Each structure stands twice: as structure tokens, then as C-alpha cells.
Structure 1
């Protein structure tokens, strides 16, 4: 268009010096001017055979033709993806893309992972107690703490029912695994179910959900600082079990807590008794092997396990390079909330902790066994499109995730008290920014 003049005698090219650019303009096309033949651009007025005057369309040349790079940037700006927009697909579309065999639960295969992990835990403890070498204790703590975390993930699968189709088997195995690392199986299972049912909801989510600005500013300076300063957030899980998150009340050990409905009280009492039995056993072992030895064999690995639990859980819902939305009110839905979860790559740890980093599909369909999550995710990616965020590839050990954790704790502090599509805001005092 920019290189042509439309006149009564047809379309003629402008001089070569004003040839049309090969790319579109980046400014508003308000430079199109409608001229009559009497305007100064014409040397004289002429009349067509039908008696009507000539008209011409003149398109003025742009002041500067943008470079190719500028045009590419403009196209990218126009096509920016809005993670908070409703997706063009439904949950049923994701489900339909996943092969049917991915939903099949094999109790024998599930039990094989339990046998493997328990054997490793016992073997590590026996070797550490036998060698009792201070050069090897740090290696033991790291390895055993990671295995405690793997034990937790298997108990977590029992809680979701993805371990087997037998509720009694799930409950027995879940109690044994979780009680061994001081987790009240039913108390946690129920609150974790609440997390899945309300993922991405500011008020109703249960796990590492945002604080509202009002709640955040109501915290005393010490609580606010500890919540966002390492290593303290990575030690939060035992405190959460007793008293939940700021702004919420209730205990995972108390059957009358508002976490539970009356029909669940018996289950909560059962898991609390199992937890207390394990605590008593550990206390008794102090008199057998000594408190220092128990601290080395169990206490420090337990703390490493807690760090893994908080670390992994936090990064599945925070710390992406693009800010992800949280919802409330009518904007929230199970689908949109689940799309804010994040997959993570943990390198060698992926297999050890049973691919729990493959988290998006797990959040939508927690009934899928962990050994089918990778295949199910690959099948669902074409449906999810840009709503799926490919995890950064890890080295053998996922040290790259530490920087993402630190960045998030410095910037993701609270969300607005109002609005239905929300993004984290930053407290300058905590971030160090002025």
C-alpha cells in the first residue's frame, strides 16, 4: 500500500525511493489521506467520462522503517501469553489425552518401591552405626534424609489412593511409612486433599498459599522475617502440623480441629496414636543407644527430610521466572488453579523421590501412580500448550533450584486483599530494594 497511488487511470507505483517496506509498520495506519484531484498533488483538475472528479488515496511514507528486530519484538509483545487467562481446553480434554494404562495401579509394583526404600534406609543406618566415622556422618545425613523424604512420598501416594485400589492396604502402608518419620497419616492426608481440591485459591488452599496484604502486615517483625529468610522456611513443616499457616488455625493431631469433619475424627485419632507410638519408640531408643547416637542416626536425617518436604512443596507452587496467578471468587476453578502448579527437574533425585517433581498432572489427577506420571505428562503437553512450563534441566544434583528458591523468597511476599486474579507483591524491606 505504501508504494502505490490509486488514481482514475489505475494503480501506479510510487518512485523507487518510496518503495513499500517488506514488513508491516509498527505504528497506527493513520497516515492514509483521501485526496481529490484538485489538491496540489495534481497539476490540473480532470474529469472522467461519467462527470465525476478523480479521487486519489495517498499513503504517506513512515518517518522511519522499523528494523527486522524491532518488528519481531513488536510481534512478540502482541502475542504475549497471559497465564491468568481462561484456557481454551477443559479438564476432560487433558484426561482424554492420557493413555488408559497410566491410570492402572499395580500394588505389587508399588510395594516393590516400599521394600526398596525401607531396605536402603535400614542399610544406611546399620552401616553408619557400624562405621561411626565423623568423615562419613555428613554423607549419611544427606543420603538418609533424602530417603526419609522418599518414604514420605510413598506414604503420600497411599493417601491419594494411587498406591493401590485397596483402601485397607493404602491405610496400613501409609500409617507405617508416615508414622516412621513422625507424620500423622490421616491428619495430613485430609489436609493435603484440601490442598488439591483448592489449589491456586488464595483463601482456601492449604499448602504454601499466599498471605493477603492485611495478614502479612499483621505479622510481627520476627515472624515476617523468619517466614522469608533461609533456612527457617525450610523447617516449617512440623510447626505447620501443629498450627497450620498464619491466618489459619487448627492442628493435624486434634480430631476436633476445623481441618476435619465429624466423620473423620476416628481416623485422626488413629493416626495421632500411631504418631505418638513412634515418638515413644524413639524416646525409648535414646536409653538403648544414647541420645547423641539417636541424634546422628535419626534426628538430623529427620530435619533433612523436613527441608526436602518444604523445598519441593514450595517450588511446585512458587518461583517460576514468569509470575503465575492466584485466584479467588468466580475467577477460580479447579482447572485454572491446577495450571499454576510447576514441574521441576531434580536430576538424580527424580528416581529416588519417585518423580514427585512431575507435579502438574499429579495435581490434576492424583489417582495416577507415580510410575506413570512422566508418560501421562508427555501425553498431556500438546493439550496444555503454553500453560505447561517445561522445567529447566538439572545437573545430577538440583543446585539450580536454590537460586530460584532464594529469588522467590525475596520477592513473593503477599497478594492484594481485593481482586480475583492476583500476583505476588514484594515488601521492599524484605527484598532489600528501596
Structure 2
């Protein structure tokens, strides 16, 4: 989610404990260039008579504002509105956040283990808190570094996006009842480990195989290191099971890990879906970097947002991923006046973002597929 010391791996979050830091800021290097920004700006400002008529027609169907209309501003204009210091990265600050998370994880694990000698009643609270913290450490490491870069390079593209991309109607109609039940229910929140092995419906490859279509030839070494780290972590867990028993590992690690996976699935899904918002997806000439970035959604996570490194402020993160997490809130406020209706104001949260459960369930029930063809598409329901 931000600029931190990155782990040189691309797969499971289990391996983050054993990976070393990588100083190369690959995310920024691979999808940000002046030439691309200029090209996006020119593309998004081009409007012909036909598209104006089309947008006018669509506006009537979307309550007066067509969310797929070409924005009247450029990426450069948005960047100019953001204070320059928001783009400044401080390695010391990033390391401080990292070590804070690691210390909190270690403290909670030690406390839970200590209290276990008195009563096991504290474990549900421990699983919830520790799961949130494990998700937080995952955000710093970006253990899926390479595939996450692909996501940023193709955000909002109906066919090329990597994370929670829409399913086409043809693929939806071919899915079995069991597949639909898993994909369109809260069970989908636990799908991250499956995604690492087999990716999502309609895509092939694995995060663990160096020859996967996900990776380029020059990335194969990183993938092999990633898989080796994952195997090493698995061996460590097996050794701990032998020393302390499987129950100890399940209580202290496995269940918090599943909670972190659920947080990952829920948060990332809601950042790119929203039945209420009518999120546009693009193909072909209609897709551009800025339009794809504007199809993301901010979510108010309440007090949890700070714990999770401001992950709720997702729009500005996609437009300018080089901004470190501790400046995302300020950067978002700076561009809101320019974004206007293109910014979907998040529903206010209490201390805990319980309101998002309703949003999540509604979207899973209604957002099923997009048309097989068309350069601007929206989710449709498969209930009919």
C-alpha cells in the first residue's frame, strides 16, 4: 500500500516473516513515467460529438452524473494540487511503522500464550486483533509485489486487471452452482490462498511457479526465492507443531492468519466494487490510467484505518502509488475539490467499520458479471 522496504517476493503472506528487504522501488519504476502521464492526459481530454451524446444519454440512467465520462482534468493537474512533501519518502518513518507492527504482533502472541495458562476465553479477541495486525504487516511488505504491480498497471481494465477483476457473462453462465456459491458469498473473503495457487476464474498461472504467465523471464529468480521462503516458513510451522503441538499453532497463528486473509479479501473487494456506486470497467481505447484509477473507491474504516496504514484512502493511492501511506489522507483532501463527482465520498464509519458488512453482502448479491463485449461496462446481476 505504500513506499516501505519491500520484500523481494511475490506470493504468500506466510513468507513475509523470512524475507529480506529490497530497496528497489519497482512499483514506481514500472508504471510511472512522464510520457505515460502525458499520453493519459491527452487521451482523457479527447471528446468527440458521438461520445458527448452517449454521455448525455447515460447521465439520465445514472442520476445526472455518468461515472464513465471522461474527466475534465488531467493527472498532471491532480499532481500539482498535492503538496510536494506528500511525495517525499522517509525510509526511517517506514521502518518505524514496520517495527511497530512486528512488535505489536510479538506482544499479542506472547500475551495470548501467557493468558492461556489461566483461561482460553480471550482467544476470539486475540484472533481478531492479531489478524488485523498480520494484515497490516502484509500491507507493508507487499508480498505479492509483482502481481500487485500488474494490478496497478491495469486497474479498472475489465480483462487485464489482476485483483477482483469482473467475470464476463459467458464465464458466469459456465460456472457451476458450487463455484458461484463460493465466488458470490462471504466465503470468497478466504480465497486469497487459492488465488495464489490458481489465480482467479478466467486466468491461469500460479504465484509459486517461475514459468507462470504472471511473470517475465527476468522475474523468475524472485519467484523462486519467494517459493523457497514460503516452503521455509511452512517447515518452521511444522517444526513448531512438533515442539508445541498443532493446537498451539492453530490458536496462535492459523486462525489469526485466516482473519488477516478475510480482511485482505474484504478490503480489496470493496475498494473495487460497490453496487451503490455503479463502478465502470473499461476495455480497449476507452481504458486509460486515470480513468482506471478513478474507478477505485475509498472506504472509511474508522479507527482501523490508522492501524492498517490508511488503506481506506485508495483512490489517491492508485493515481499516485509513489505517495507513502502516511501522506495519503492529506493528498486525498488536496485533490477532492478537483475530483468532484468522480470522487465517491465514503460512508462515515464508527470506531469499527461494521457498516461495510452490509455494503459487502449487497455487492456480492448483485454484482455478478459484466458484458462479454463493450469498451465501457458495468456489473449486472445474474439473478434474472
Q: Does 1:108 align with 2:108?
A: no
Query: 2:78, 2:335 within 8 Å by CA — same for their partners in 1?
Result: yes
Aligned pairs (5 A) from 1:61-140: 80-132=64-116, 133-140=119-126
Query: 1:320, 1:342 within 8 Å by CA — same for their partners in 2?
Result: no
For residue 45 of structure 1, what is the aligned residue in structure 2? Answer: none
Quick one: structure 1 residues 126 and 228, their matched pair in 2 at CA, closer, same or farther if it must change by over 3 Å?
same
Q: Does 1:382 align with 2:337?
A: yes
Question: TM-score by structure 1 length?
Answer: 0.73
- The alignment yields a C-alpha RMSD, in angstroms, of 1.5
CA-to-partner distance for each residue in 1:328-383, whole Å, 9 max, x for gaps? 11111111111110000111101110101100000111111000000011111122
Counterparts of 1:79 and 1:213, CA distance in 2: 25
Q: Does 1:226 align with 2:182?
A: yes
User: How far has the Cα of 1:235 moved from its partner?
Assistant: 0.5
Structure 1 gaps, min length 5: 1-74, 157-184, 429-433
For residue 312 of structure 1, what is the aligned residue in structure 2? Answer: 267
For residue 12 of structure 2, what is the aligned residue in structure 1? Answer: none
Counterparts of 2:366 and 2:176, CA distance in 1: 19
The structure with the greater share of residues assigned to strand is 1
Aligned residue for 1:145, secondary structure, equals: helix
Question: TM-score by structure 2 length?
Answer: 0.82
User: How far has the Cα of 1:385 moved from its partner?
Assistant: 1.2
Counterparts of 1:413 and 1:320, CA distance in 2: 10
Query: 1:202, 1:210 within 8 Å by CA — same for their partners in 2?
Result: yes
Counterparts of 1:423 and 1:316, CA distance in 2: 15
For residue 30 of structure 2, what is the aligned residue in structure 1? Answer: none
Q: How many residues align?
A: 324
User: How far has the Cα of 1:225 moved from its partner?
Assistant: 1.6
Aligned residue for 1:300, secondary structure, equals: helix
User: How far has the Cα of 1:322 moved from its partner?
Assistant: 2.3
Counterparts of 1:271 and 1:77, CA distance in 2: 47
User: How far has the Cα of 1:320 moved from its partner?
Assistant: 4.8
Which has the higher relative contact order, 1 or 2, with Cα contacts under 8 A spaced 6 or more apart?
A: 2
Instruction: Judge which range, 123-132 or 78-87, deviates more.
Output: 78-87
Query: 1:331, 1:421 within 8 Å by CA — same for their partners in 2?
Result: yes
Query: 1:84, 1:325 within 8 Å by CA — same for their partners in 2?
Result: yes
For residue 174 of structure 1, what is the aligned residue in structure 2? Answer: none
Over alpha carbons, which structure has the higher Rg?
Answer: 1
Aligned residue for 2:364, secondary structure, equals: helix
Aligned residue for 1:84, secondary structure, equals: coil
Q: 2:159 aligns with which of 203, 223, 239?
A: 203
Query: 2:277, 2:344 within 8 Å by CA — same for their partners in 1?
Result: no
Quick one: structure 1 residues 78 and 321, their matched pair in 2 at CA, closer, same or farther if it must change by over 3 Å?
closer
Counterparts of 1:78 and 1:396, CA distance in 2: 32
For residue 33 of structure 1, what is the aligned residue in structure 2? Answer: none
Counterparts of 2:141 and 2:264, CA distance in 1: 13
Counterparts of 1:135 and 1:77, CA distance in 2: 52
Aligned residue for 1:200, secondary structure, equals: coil
Q: Does 1:295 align with 2:281?
A: no
Aligned residue for 1:389, secondary structure, equals: coil
The structure with the greater share of residues assigned to helix is 2
User: How far has the Cα of 1:224 moved from its partner?
Assistant: 1.4
